Amino acid sequence: MTLFEKIIAREIPAKIVHEDDRCIAIHDIQPQAPVHVLVIPKQPIARIAEATPAHEALLGHLLLTAQALAKQLNLAAGFRIVINNGPHGGESVPHLHVHLLGGRQLAWPPG
């Protein structure tokens, strides 16, 4: 069971900012920006490279949830959405999740 599955099951506490039947959104414990929220599907998918066409609606839901949270968290000046994939992509938990970052000027390239 991944860290995120334990959070979803309420076995590990987290600062939840949103929850619905398909996802949960929490504040990242190691924020990389003043606002750093993770939008996590309740259905485990290890990483974006393993998503299939059957996941299309869920993936769209994650992005629209991130968009709604950006509005709720006053990120009108701009925000970034990131999905890490694999060790070279910065993936640290093998459970797909969307990073919503904002609250300051974000540089490019990111890393």
pLDDT of residue 21: 98
Give domain 3-102's CATH number out of 3.30.428.10, 3.10.20.310, 3.40.30.10, 3.90.245.10: 3.30.428.10
Q: What confidence tens digit (pLDDT) does each residue in 45-59 have?
A: 999 999 999 999 999
Catalytic residue (choose from 27, 55, 88, 97):
97
Residue spans per domain, the chain? 3-102
User: Mean pLDDT over residues 99-105, rounded?
Assistant: 97
- 97 assigned to active site: yes
Q: Fill in the DSSP letter of residue 105.
A: P
Q: What confidence tens digit (pLDDT) does each residue in 8-44 have?
A: 999 999 999 999 999 999 999 999 999 999 999 999 9
* Class of residue 81 by CB neighbours under 10 A (exposed 0-12, middle 13-18, buried 19+): middle
pLDDT of residue 111: 65
User: Mean pLDDT over residues 89-102, rounded?
Assistant: 96
pLDDT of residue 109: 87
**Prior bond to 109 cis, omega within 30?**
yes
